[in-house]
Chain A
């Protein structure tokens, strides 16, 4: 007797997208998203991370949390590559609205227009929003 989750068969890879829209530290969303992505990476799916709206602040270079007494989790974004999470997309409009550029990002990212991101979202099997 097979279990329901076995019916999908082995080796099926789905496209998972994690959409990040919040600045780090003020709320727990950014850190929670990162933890979920790292856990999900173990399941060898096609994972991408998107940073839009205030989510672009998560990748801002030079974060120093010493004085606010919270863990600086920004170096973890650099470790994502080691978990085969290599697709990081940052929305161009969100950067521009905040006076930021690609050079402000602490990891290599692909800067993408809102229109292109909309199409990319449409291609996904699962979208998780943080």
Chain B
């Protein structure tokens, strides 16, 4: 059983991502959406948190939410995959369950 976790809060503002990481099994995936996308950017004080998230797990970030905030795919930490809404749908289809960390 593989879980898709979604995180929609900035790690600078809430501990949502940290809590998600603490409960996400190694074979699960994490998708950053809405304000959560700022965690995917290289060179922030939370890059270490993201590296921890990527330990054994696949991490995705929603491109449209990055673009809305003036951030681009080439600023994203290597190894994080940028997906569009279609990719979001495919991820929910591919995983057995979705856990939304809000």
Contacts and interface: CB of A to CB of B under 8 A. Distances in A.
Are A and B a genuine interacting pair, yes or no?
yes
A98 B70 CA distance: 13
A84 interface: no
Interface secondary structure of A, over-half rule:
loop
Contacts, number: 73
Interface secondary structure of B, over-half rule:
loop
A75 B92 CA distance: 35
Interface stretch (B8-16, B19-27, B51-59, B93-101): B8-16
Interface residues of B, number: 24
Nearest to A62: B70
Contact of B41 (A53, A74, A99): A99
A106 B69 CA distance: 12
Interface of A: 22-27, 53-54, 57, 60-68, 70, 72, 74, 96-99, 104, 106
Interface of B: 8-10, 12-13, 34-35, 38, 41-45, 63-65, 67-72, 84-85
